[in-house]
Amino acid sequence: MHDTVLKISDLDVRYGAIPALHAVDMTLREGEAVGLLGANGAGKTTLLNTLSGFLRPSAGRIELFGKDIGRAAPHTIVRRGLLHLSQERDLFGELTVIDNLRIGSISRAPKTASRNLERVFHYFPRLRERVSQAAATLSGGEQQMLAIGRALMAEPTIMLFDEPSAGLSPLFVHEIGAMMCALRKDEGMSIVLVEQNMKLAAQVVDRFHILRAGHVVAEGPVSELEKDHEELAREYYL
């Protein structure tokens, strides 16, 4: 059995007096992909922001490679190998593709930047064709590829994806799904995927958790996602 790389135990998170997550438990093993599903406002992004250090838990424990990170700063968590790709992508729009990628290597892997550039271009050949283009001029799908590529420049062990398919064409959604599967197969990367697109989630994850109002209300193997998607949505999202 693969080692556990991330363990969440009885996690509570609050926004002031308002509870956002309650008693959340989850594990992630080496090379595994776990999906977080649920309606808007269910707590999925809150959980990712807590794992990456942008929010502090009010109770419970988060262990990354066996060490408690519940109070760690975001930059410390990045240096320990966990990268979070937000819905906003957070690119430097006025900078070129190559400059955005190089920025990704600074905090964790500056000495292997050249090697990692080739690694990114292997997954996203389209970016090689646009190295001198400003990030702001790329299409939405290309910007998503650039955001993922920049994260790969830091040589993460775990990647958190927050709705990577949002606003993208089916072609780009398929490409990004294939890339996530390749990262797992080729590099043993562990993934937490927040996603509304159940077809994409079913393509990538091994198992899933469904959140509703900050609680985990269901979990299961990926085979459960192959059921009728409308039926699943009615059962757990509403």
Q: Out of 27-31, 49-53, 194-198, pick the least confident.
A: 194-198
> What percent of the chain clears pLDDT 90, i.e. is strictly above it?
68
Q: Spell out the domain ranges in the chain.
A: 1-81+159-164+190-238
Q: What integer is the mean pLDDT of 154-174?
A: 90
Share of the chain above pLDDT 70, in %: 94
The predicted model scores a pTM of 0.90
- What is the domain class of 1-81+159-164+190-238 according to CATH? alpha beta
pLDDT digits (tens, 9 = 90+) for 82-129: 999 988 878 998 999 999 999 988 878 788 889 999 999 999 999 999
CB 36 within 8 A of CB 207: no
* pLDDT mean over 35-44: 91
Indicate the range of 19-23, 97-101, 187-191, 197-201 predicted with least confidence.
Answer: 197-201
Question: 81 by DSSP, 3-state: which?
Answer: coil
DSSP code, position 108: T
172-176, 199-203, 224-228 — which is least confidently predicted?
224-228
The span from the CA of 225 to the CA of 202, in Å, is 6
Provide the edge-to-edge strand list for the sheet that holds 4-15: 18-29, 4-15, 59-64, 67-68
Q: How many CB atoms lie within 10 A of CB 31?
A: 18
Per-residue pLDDT at 1: 43
